[in-house]
Homo-oligomer: A and B are copies of this chain.
Amino acid sequence: MARRPSNDTGSRPVSMADVARAAGVSQQTVSRVANGLPNVNEQTRQRVQTAMQELGFRPSYAGRSLRDGRYHSVGLCVNDVTKFGNLSMIDGIASAAREHNCAITLVEMSKTEEFSLAEATRRMAALPVDGIIIGMSRMAPDFETFDPLPGIGTVIVTMYAHPRVTTVDSDHYGCSLLLMDHLFELGHEQIRYIGGPSFSVDEQFRRAGWQDVLERNHIESAEPLEGDWSANSGYEAGRYLAEHDRTMTAIYAANDQMANGAIAALRDSGLRVPEDVSVVGVDDSLDDFVAHNELTTVRFDLHQRGREVFEHAVPEAGTAGKTVAIRIPGQLIIRHTTAATHA
């Protein structure tokens, strides 16, 4: 059987051996030069470096990884790259990874189908990753029973806590408390809620926060409305509320996009914001899209979340072991869609 050619012409990538042959030295000397080790004659070093240049040598990632058992990459699994939550997750993790001189190995699962943590883990495990991060934007069917792969750091980005896996997320419950407290201080009590799709984990926690605050204040909560995160769905909901609820003084929309839609709907219905109805959102995501963004909202520190996620997935000496659940608080940003009630 024909041995692959010794790279006179061959398509095989250039190895240290090829460089060694070209420079007339041993492969070890090439290694020494490549890694800047001492005890190499200056003349020899030159010769080797020239050979490297000419042959276009690049060290084999596979060979090196095999040797030192590390990949310098962290695996990230999301279902849909474009969703605000996932995007901001990628961004945050990317910058944390960069600080650690690490790449991200990104796998996008099906955008529509439900996916299990086991499946996500299985796919990530076949890739060059030192740690696994799974964005769980909707409840996985095997969340309770899931066991992380031994020997590799695993983090799930979600609000739910897990007994055997570290979870990290922005505090989607706490943001509701911030906003609701703000509205209460302004005298609002009849606060309607426009949520995202009910399968969304973020939605579940944001809604729970809204509901709990009302209950704690002994206010009977009116039925929450369900949107799909889009401005149009917020508009629909806003229209409905403007026409059917005369007692409402404020709307809490579970994201800024829906809040923006709701504001448009209220104004189209002849209601003033914030004079007649106050509106709040979450995410602080409108700036690029809307001129003079005036929405009161909550901003999350997504880079901090990225760092936390990364550092728990790839524990840097010592941090290892403990399973924790980290919730990163948001920050209330008061603009001009909220005002005190008249009463």
The stretch that binds B, out of A174-182, A208-216, A224-232, is A224-232
For A126, the chain B residues whose CB sits under 8 A away are: 58-59, 61
Q: Mark A1-41, 1 if CB is under 8 A from B, else 0.
A: 00000000001111000000000000000000000000000
Report whether A289 and B66 are in contact in the complex, using a CB–CB cutoff of 8 Å: no
Q: Does A82 sit at the interface, judged by CB under 8 A?
A: yes
Instruction: Check B82 against A232 for contact (C-beta < 8 Å).
Output: no
| A82 pairs with B87, CB closer than 8 A | yes
- Are A106 and B104 touching (Cβ within 8 A)? yes
Q: How far is the CA of A63 from the CA of B69 in the complex (A)?
A: 10
CB distance from A194 to the nearest CB of B (A): 12
- Encoded as 1 (CB less than 8 Å from any B CB) or 0, chain A from 93 to 115 comes to 01101100001111110000000
Cross-chain contact B288 with A105 (CB below 8 angstroms): no
Contacting chain B: which of A137-145, A185-193, A257-265, A330-338?
Answer: A257-265
Q: Closest 10 CB pairs between A and B? A: A235-B291, A62-B66, A62-B65, A261-B291, A289-B289, A94-B108, A231-B291, A104-B106, A264-B291, A81-B91
A-B contact pairs, 28 of them (CB 8 A): A13-B69, A13-B151, A14-B151, A56-B149, A56-B150, A58-B125, A59-B126, A62-B62, A62-B66, A65-B65, A73-B105, A81-B90, A82-B87, A82-B91, A87-B87, A90-B90, A90-B106, A91-B108, A94-B108, A105-B105, A105-B106, A230-B288, A231-B289, A235-B291, A235-B292, A261-B291, A285-B289, A289-B289
A residues near B (Cβ < 8 Å) are 11-14, 56, 58-63, 65-66, 69, 71-73, 81-82, 87-88, 90-91, 94-95, 97-98, 103-108, 125-128, 149-151, 229-232, 234-235, 257, 260-261, 264-265, 285-293
